[in-house]
Structure formats: structure tokens, C-alpha cells
Structure 1
Amino acid sequence: SNLFEKFDENGVPLKLIRGEYTYFYTKIFTYALAAWHRFLLGQTDKDYRKSVLDIVGYICKTISIEGDGAVFRNYEVATGAHTGRVCGAMEQGIGITLLCIGYELTGNKELLSIAEKALVPYHHPIEKGGVVRYLDPGHLTWYEEFPTSDLHVLNGCLDSLLGPFYLFQQTKNPDAIAVFKTGIATVELVLPMFDNGIWSNYYISEAKPPYIASMKYHMIHVYQLQFLGRVAGSDICTRYAQKFEEYSNNHFKRIAALVTIAWQKRKVKPVNS
């Protein structure tokens, strides 16, 4: 598709940034998850198992092993490697998920070992190379999608929880389930701040007004919260999934959200993942 129009010689999709094709974990991981989904559906127009494993191989080659942990860093054209700043909690979580999928496909336990190392940044604040930002009141542990920003993005935090959850399913690692439960507890407490009465907010911030979610991200919030509500046994996540879905089915609230989205696009520079 046009979304994945250019690949390197190893089957890794490239992203066009400022006129130059480069490696971008978010795009790479999106491609791998789409391939995994098609593999599960039994689609045979392409070798989707190989597509997933190509990306798992790329993860193993490029993830930065630092001390007892492992972290995803941005690609730097100058060095030709992932040596830039820490990507953030979303990439960390999806990367762990893909390593678990790779193990499921191959039985290679080294993939689980790398995934367990990738849990370490969930225990460290951004200032120390981790993905944690503490929210007030209460010093709540929030897994941050954008480490260089003061914006707390809901879908990125929710995605970050998937890796620890899947790792626990594969290994019963107590640290994985502890990270997951800590994240769920914070999400349950802050979800009211992502509810603006007509729609969900894409981000909240101590320094800026909340930014209302686009139609796409609003529905992503619904699906994420439905899933997390189910696997975590969280009535709060389930309730907000239902509430946000009801907003999208309400004609007047949908119109109000569209007007607000159009207005803020003219006034506020959007955050790009």
C-alpha cells in the first residue's frame, strides 16, 4: 500500500522525512503488527510470517542494550544507527510485544530475554533514560510516549501496556505484571481528565489546554480501553470505553467534536508520532 511504499533490502519499511527515506520505529512496528494480523487471519497473498520476523530481526539488531536494560532510540542519519534520544513508552511497549510474537513464531528464548531487558526503562524516569514521568497529584507513574514533551498522550500510554502484558503471558515474569498493573492503576485515576464531556482528549498537559482527539484516535481509545478493561479486569477502563463509544454515536456530540477539532487544527500545532 502507499503507507508502506519503500523497503530496504531486508524487508524493513522506510519513512520519508524531510525528503529523505529513513528508519522510523513507529512505522516499522505498525507494519509488523499489520503483518501479524494478516498472518492470524490466514491471508496468503504474501509471506506475513516472514514479514513479522524480518522486523523482529531488525529489533534485535538495533535495540540499544544499556546496562541491565534495553531501549529503543531514534535513528540518526549522521551515525546510520539508532543512537538518538529514547523513543518513548509506546515504542518500548510495542517492541516488547513484537519480541513476544517472534518467540511465539520461533521458540527462540533469546527474544524473551531481550524483551525482559526492555522492561527496565519502565522503572526509570525520563531524566535517567527511562520512559516514566510522574504526574501530580500523587506522584503517579505515567509511561510517556514523547519523552521530550510535557504532553501526556493517552493512546501512547495505553500501547505501552501491551508489551508488559504479553510478556507476562509468555513468561509469568512478576516484573512484567507489576509494570502492567502500575500503568493500569494510573490510567484508571487519570481517565476523567481525558474526558471532556463530548469526546476524548488526545493529550493532557500541565502547561497547555487539553487537545481533543481526532476521529481516528478517539476510536483507537475506545478499542484500547475495551481490550485493557477485559484483560486487566478494569471496570473503569471498560466504563470509559463505553462512554467514549457513546460519544461517537451521539450526533450532536460528534458534530461538536468535529467543530472543536477543526478549530484547534487552525490554532494549535498537532503532535506527530
Structure 2
Amino acid sequence: MKLLRLIILFCLLSLVACKSSVKLPQEGINFYQKNNLKDVDLVPLFPFTNSNLEKYNDLTYDENKIPLLKYNDSLIYYPVQYTQVALHYYAKYYTSKNQEDKEVFLMQAKEIRNRLVVKEGFGVWECGVKILPYNVETPFASSMAQGFGLGVMIQAYALTKDQSYLLAAEHVVSSFDVMISDGGIKSVWDTYPHYEEYADPDSHVLNGYIFSLAGLYYYYQLVGSEKALRLYNEGIEALSVKIKDYDAGFSSFYSLITSTGQYPYNSANGDNPDHYHELVIIQLIALYLWTENKVFYEYGYKFYQQRLSQLDKSIPNKLKSIKASHTIVPETHGTDNLMNNNWTFGNFWSTNKFPSELELDFGTHRKDITKLILYGAGDIGSLPDKFEIYVYNNDVWSIANTDEDILRTHHTKFQTRHHKTYVIEYDLFGRFEGSKLKLKFLNSVGGESIALRNINVFFNERNEFNQLIELVKEYEKDSFN
């Protein structure tokens, strides 16, 4: 399943909530109430980690089985990576009960513990390399590594009963209370705390922040630390208020840093789609499952509508097919390019004949069709100027909107080194239903041709989203019993 691959790829963590503003599920405190860490040999998995280590086969490891990250043609010790990899090695032993797997994990955990830099009342794993484009002072600490590392320390303590791992974990928890300027990982964002993946107080990386919260709660579940719970509660409250700032309308923001001249969007980085937008959807589902906070449900659903990829094979693709009445180069620039998850570069569909039509087949009857998003392959000249929108319902095509009917639009320019994308969101006038949508392009803004990298339509997908929630529940059922 693609959902499983996404979770494996990103080591997604299940999250729980605070006592005050949201419900604390009973199963979330059962382990601490029913067990004493001194009496157990294994603790539950760090949620959404697994025993699949094949993805790490190509990494370079040192003599202590610590992976090194290739960065700018150098191999560096990167805390986010080596703590995350160790969590998966623990999962391998948890599954196999093989002594050799246990020894490898403990070798890693010992070295990770020894790499903790203990300062006045707190400890951090430091990265000595400046990571662009973030404005960090080296060495710096990462909240994401702190969260992962908490899991490693508690797992190692359960296996060894070595108190030094607990002491290290307590130092790590304290780092969440320390400002970046003092060597910690905390920033203040509009009076709210934020635990920064990069020690740039203006960056606010979303997925790294959520990962760090998971470490705090994992520690609370197993140890019962009220300090960890307080820090987690503060973080959950902050995220429930600030999650709206990550909504880009057609996608989500990876972070809020703008030093590059534009916001970094999720699934718009690297040489291939990075799937961070899909990761955040799963993270928000996990938050909702543990907190029952509807804010996380609604933003998870909103981001789900914005997706361009299929999250799980058991859930049908948003679009079954797209047909065009005319294509300039169908062999390489056909309508299949409109159905992939790559909206920032690569091949596109184009036409220079007007009128031209695109027929979008949903594969089933859809209600509440409210929004259309077109991703132009270039500047605004690559997009349509005059067009009509038709809906197929009860075996009849009916006009829904023209370009003049649409109430408002949002424009977004995005540029990589070699490619441009111009995104326009069209909010339709009214709510429509049907099994197909047809776009009839009468001309283009540039006057010559239309070129689209991708296309998206918003309609009611509550059933599919709730089905995805059930899949996440099933995947995480072995994390805490």
C-alpha cells in the first residue's frame, strides 16, 4: 500500500493530547499506569516505526553503526538521521527478538547517548554544519532529533536498565524549555512556543515540529513525566492555533521561511516530488486520533483535498481519467501529465487549438464541487483566459460556471532553478455535483497556447478521508497496547 510506503519513508509518529484542552485517551496512559519500566524488557514501538531496514542499506555507517549523511559532498553526523535510524533498528529487534539485532541497536543507542552534549540543566544532539537556507548558528540542535532521541533513550533503558539513558532523556526533555539563543530548540511565535527542527526562530518547519511533539508524549507515556506532558500540551495548543498559517490554498507550506524569495511548499522540493504534503496529512490524522481535536481533523481533510497523489491503493484516485480534444505533442505531453503528483517541473499537457476541451472523469458521482486549480507550465500566459466549466449529471452536460462567474481567485508564482509554475485557484460560484467535469478553453492569457502541469478539483471526499483515518488506526495499533 502506498500509505504504508509513505509512513515507512517518513517514520511517521502517532501523537496524543493534553489533559486540559483535549481528551487524553485512556489507552494513552495505560502503559505507565500498568507497567514499571524497571520490570519490562521491551517498550512499545515509537509509533509508525517499523522493522523494514532495506531503505537504509545504501547508507554509510561508522564502526558504531551510526549512519552518516552525505551533505555537500561530505559525510556528516546528522542527529535527525541517526536517531531516526536507531528507532527502526529497535523496531527490527522488537519484531525479530534476534540477539544480533538487539546488539546493533544498543551499539547505536550507546553512541547516541555519548554524543549528547549536556549543558546547564539540559542536553542536545548538535549538528556542526550550517544547513541552508536556514539562518542557524553552528553547532545547533534540532527539535526533530530531540524527539527521536527521546525514544531511543527510553528503548535502550528498557533493554539495559542503565540509568544513564534515563538521565540523558531527562536532559533532552529540558531542552524543549530552552530558547534557541541559549542553545535549546524553542522559539516564540506570536506568543506561542514552537520547537524548531532548525535553529532558525523564523523557520517553523511543520513536519519536524510535529515529530518533536511525538517524542515528548512517547516519553510521558512510558515514564509519566509531567514536565514532558506540560511541554507537549503547550505545543499542541500552539499548533491548533497556528496550523492555519500553513494552508497555502492549493498545498501546504513546508516551513514559513522566505529568505529564498518564496515560501517553500510541501511536495515541491528536490529532484522528485517529496511527499511532505502527504506526510502532513497523515500526521494531522494521527493528531486527531489521539486528541479528538477537530481542528486537526478539518485541516487534515483540507490538505487531503489539496493532494495530487494517491495515498493508498484501496482508496480510488481523485481522477479516474482525463481526455483532451486536442494535444500538441500527445506522445510526451499528454493528459497523463495532469494526473501525476508533480506540479513544479517536468512534462506538461498543452494545446494551441481553440476551443479545446479537457474532460475529467471522477469515476463516481461527486457532490459539492466547489473549486478548480490549474497549474500553468510557465508564467500566467500559459493559462486560459476565457473558459467555461460544465458538469455531467444525470447523463446531461450542464454549464456550471464561466470565467466571469467565478467569485475570486488566488494566484501563486513558483520557480525552481529551471522551471516556472503559475498556480491559479478558481472558487466556483455555487456548489455542483456530477460524475465528470469539462473545461472548455476559448483562448489563453498569452494568446498562443495553454500549457498545464497539473489540475485539481475540490469536491466532497469525507468518506475517503474517513477511510484513510481507519487505515492509520490499523497501522498504529501495535504502537501502544
TM-score normalised over the length of structure 1: 0.82
Q: Which structure 2 residues correspond to residues 128-143 of structure 1 after superposition, within 5 A?
A: 128-136=182-190, 139-143=191-195
Distance 2:300 2:156 in 1: 30
Distance 1:149 1:183 in 2: 15
Q: In the TM superposition, what whole-angstrom CA distance separates every residue of 1:233-272 from its partner, at most 9, and x where no partner exists? A: 43322332233233325459x969732477443389xxxx
Distance 1:152 1:261 in 2: 26
Amino acid at match of 1:178: R
Amino acid at match of 2:174: V
Q: 2:145 aligned with 1:61, yes or no?
A: no
Amino acid at match of 2:125: F
Of 165, 168, 171, the match for 1:114? 168
Distance 2:93 2:278 in 1: 24
Conserved in 1, the CA contact under 8 Å of 2:188 and 2:201? no
Shift of 1:160: 0.9
Of 270, 276, 292, the match for 1:217? 276
Q: Which structure 2 residues correspond to residues 27-66 of structure 1 after superposition, within 5 A?
A: 27-42=81-96, 47-66=100-119
Of 194, 197, 204, the match for 2:256? 204
Amino acid at match of 1:173: S
Conserved in 1, the CA contact under 8 Å of 2:252 and 2:265? yes
Q: Is the alpha carbon distance of 1:148 and 1:115 closer, same or farther for their aligned partners in structure 2, counting shifts above 3 Å?
A: same
The structure with the larger Rg is: 2
Q: Is the alpha carbon distance of 1:100 and 1:228 closer, same or farther for their aligned partners in structure 2, counting shifts above 3 Å?
A: farther
Distance 1:211 1:20 in 2: 25
Conserved in 2, the CA contact under 8 Å of 1:198 and 1:256? no
Shift of 1:184: 0.7
Distance 2:165 2:97 in 1: 25
Q: Is the alpha carbon distance of 1:149 and 1:177 closer, same or farther for their aligned partners in structure 2, counting shifts above 3 Å?
A: closer
Q: In the TM superposition, what whole-angstrom CA distance separates every residue of 1:172-193 from its partner, at most 9, and x where no partner exists? A: 1110000111111111111111
Q: Which residue of 2 is the match for residue 148 of structure 1?
A: 200
Q: Is the alpha carbon distance of 1:238 and 1:99 closer, same or farther for their aligned partners in structure 2, counting shifts above 3 Å?
A: farther
Structure 1, unaligned runs of 5 or more: 77-83, 269-273
Conserved in 2, the CA contact under 8 Å of 1:212 and 1:261? no
Secondary structure of residue in 1 paired with 2:250? coil
Of 283, 287, 293, the match for 1:234? 293
Q: Is the alpha carbon distance of 1:2 and 1:156 closer, same or farther for their aligned partners in structure 2, counting shifts above 3 Å?
A: closer
Q: Which residue of 1 is the match for residue 343 of structure 2?
A: 259
Aligned CA-pair RMSD: 2.9
Q: Which structure 2 residues correspond to residues 48-197 of structure 1 after superposition, within 5 A?
A: 48-75=101-128, 84-136=138-190, 139-148=191-200, 150-197=202-249
Conserved in 1, the CA contact under 8 Å of 2:144 and 2:212? yes
Conserved in 2, the CA contact under 8 Å of 1:94 and 1:160? yes
Distance 1:241 1:95 in 2: 27
Q: Which residue of 1 is the match for residue 306 of structure 2?
A: 247
Distance 1:166 1:261 in 2: 39
Distance 2:143 2:82 in 1: 16
Distance 2:285 2:195 in 1: 19
Conserved in 2, the CA contact under 8 Å of 1:199 and 1:257? no
Amino acid at match of 1:166: Y
Shift of 1:209: 4.3
After TM superposition, the structure 1 stretch with the greater mean CA deviation from structure 2, 89-98 or 219-228, is 219-228
Q: How many residues align?
A: 258
Q: In the TM superposition, what whole-angstrom CA distance separates every residue of 1:52-92 from its partner, at most 9, and x where no partner exists? A: 2222111211101112111111247xxxxxxx522221111
Q: Taking every aligned residue pair, what percent have the same amino acid on both sides? A: 23
TM-score normalised over the length of structure 2: 0.49
Shift of 1:120: 1.6
After TM superposition, the structure 1 stretch with the greater mean CA deviation from structure 2, 24-33 or 242-251, is 242-251
